[in-house]
Chains A and B, each alone.
Chain A
Amino acid sequence: MIFNLLAILLGISTIVFALVAIYTKKLIFAILATGGVSLFASILYLLMAAPDVALTEAAIGSGLTTLIFLFILNKIKEEDV
């Protein structure tokens, strides 16, 4: 029961972060929100009995992808976009 409630909360916050990532104007908030989507999805994997996938998503999807996005964003001037 408590796990179902936690899963519902995680699902709602994942969707809210995805909406923020798509509709915000500033690119840096969009990138950080994408990292947040991956982070909440990794806890959802852990609740669904897949610890291997959760570890991969937390290390790669939430860590490295955000870092690569930020490296690229550093080379792009915001006002040109």
Chain B
Amino acid sequence: MYKKLLVFATIFILAGIFLKLYQNFDGSKTLNKTASYYAKNGASEVGSTNIVTAIVVTYRGFDTLGEVTILFVAAAIIGFFLKTNAKGTNRIRNLRFSSEIMITASKILMPIMFLIGAYVFVNGHLSPGGGFQGGAIIASGVAFFLLANPTLSVNHKVLSVLESTSGLIFVLLGIAGLIYGGGFLDNRVLPLGKFGTLFSAGIIPLVYSFIGLKVGAELSNIISSLQQIQKEE
């Protein structure tokens, strides 16, 4: 009873705060100073068609580095917590065989899904999408293949090598920006190129591809740790 009263009080205070916020909100009419700077100079300084990509990779590149690190730490802790007992005390569960149609379709569809993921993160500076979305699509391709073939498992060595190599190249590209450009992750290391084509915007396509590979490897790592525990009784 006492606990329920406390919960009600919390919800009411929160609702009151939200009501006050809603009454004072009257829809902003113009961009603020930072956003108008990005809108005015994004095309000429960075050369990227998609302004959100310009902010994520170049103007706020340091945030992205921290975010990828958080994802890496989460994947490492999950792998540590769900570690399977390798001593053989756990029996292997008797899994149901998947049907022939499902296996064939997964063999056809997985390369296409990888291709779509690569398309999404290579074209991140031209269209909506980028490294995080492409990495998620690659990880769902891996998950689909593991669902269709429950007896297989992913090689963790390959994933960790891929993940750490792309992370290292990401940091090295940032340091190259520090030396040849104006600061960490400055994209004017390579020439800006013609606006609106694939090979433009300096190093943004390169950086986004490596972010995509890193995120895809981390999410596949999480999924394969979760799939590993399905097998034991």
Check whether chain A touches chain B (CB < 8 angstroms).
yes
A residues with a Cβ closer than 8 A to B are 51-52, 54-56, 59-60, 63-64, 67-68, 71-72, 74-75
Hey, which chain B residues are within 8 Å of A72, CB to CB? Answer: 226
**Interface presence of B230 (CB below 8 A):** yes
Q: Given A52-B52, A59-B136, A63-B136, does the pair A75, B230 have CB atoms closer than 8 Å? A: yes
Q: How far is the CA of A55 from the CA of B223 in the complex (A)?
A: 20
Q: How far is the CA of A72 from the CA of B143 in the complex (A)?
A: 14
Interface string of B124-138 (1 = CB under 8 A from A): 000011101100110
Q: How far is the CA of A52 from the CA of B136 in the complex (A)?
A: 13
Q: Closest chain B residue to A72 by CB distance?
A: B226
The answer to whether B136 touches A60, judged by C-beta atoms less than 8 angstroms apart, is: yes
Q: How far is the CA of A63 from the CA of B223 in the complex (A)?
A: 12
Q: Closest chain A residue to B227 by CB distance?
A: A71
B residues with a Cβ closer than 8 A to A are 50, 52-53, 120, 128-130, 132-133, 136-137, 139-140, 143, 219, 222-223, 226-227, 229-230
Hey, which chain A residues are within 8 Å of B227, CB to CB? Answer: 71
Determine chain A's interface SS by DSSP, over half rule: helix
The answer to whether A64 touches B133, judged by C-beta atoms less than 8 angstroms apart, is: no
Q: How far is the CA of A20 from the CA of B79 in the complex (A)?
A: 32
Q: Give me 17 A-to-B residue pairs in the complex whose CB atoms sit less than 8 angstroms apart, sorted by A's number.
A: A52-B52, A52-B129, A52-B130, A54-B128, A55-B129, A56-B132, A59-B140, A60-B132, A63-B136, A64-B136, A64-B140, A64-B219, A67-B140, A67-B143, A71-B226, A71-B227, A74-B230
Q: How far is the CA of A51 from the CA of B50 in the complex (A)?
A: 11
Q: How far is the CA of A13 from the CA of B230 in the complex (A)?
A: 34
Q: Given A52-B129, A52-B130, A55-B129, does the pair A67, B223 have CB atoms closer than 8 Å? A: yes
Q: Closest chain A residue to B225 by CB distance?
A: A71
Q: How far is the CA of A67 from the CA of B142 in the complex (A)?
A: 12
The answer to whether B128 touches A55, judged by C-beta atoms less than 8 angstroms apart, is: yes
Hey, which chain A residues are within 8 Å of B229, CB to CB? Answer: 75
Shortest Cβ gap from B214 to chain A (Å): 15
Hey, which chain B residues are within 8 Å of A74, CB to CB? Answer: 230
The answer to whether B140 touches A68, judged by C-beta atoms less than 8 angstroms apart, is: no
Most chain A beta carbons < 10 A, residue from B53, B120, B129:
B129
Most chain A beta carbons < 10 A, residue from B133, B223, B227, B230:
B133
Q: Given A51-B128, A55-B133, does the pair A63, B226 have CB atoms closer than 8 Å? A: no
Given pairs A55-B133, A56-B136, A64-B139, 16 additional interface contacts (CB within 8 A): A51-B128, A52-B130, A55-B120, A55-B129, A56-B132, A59-B137, A59-B140, A60-B132, A60-B133, A64-B136, A64-B143, A64-B219, A68-B222, A68-B223, A71-B226, A71-B230
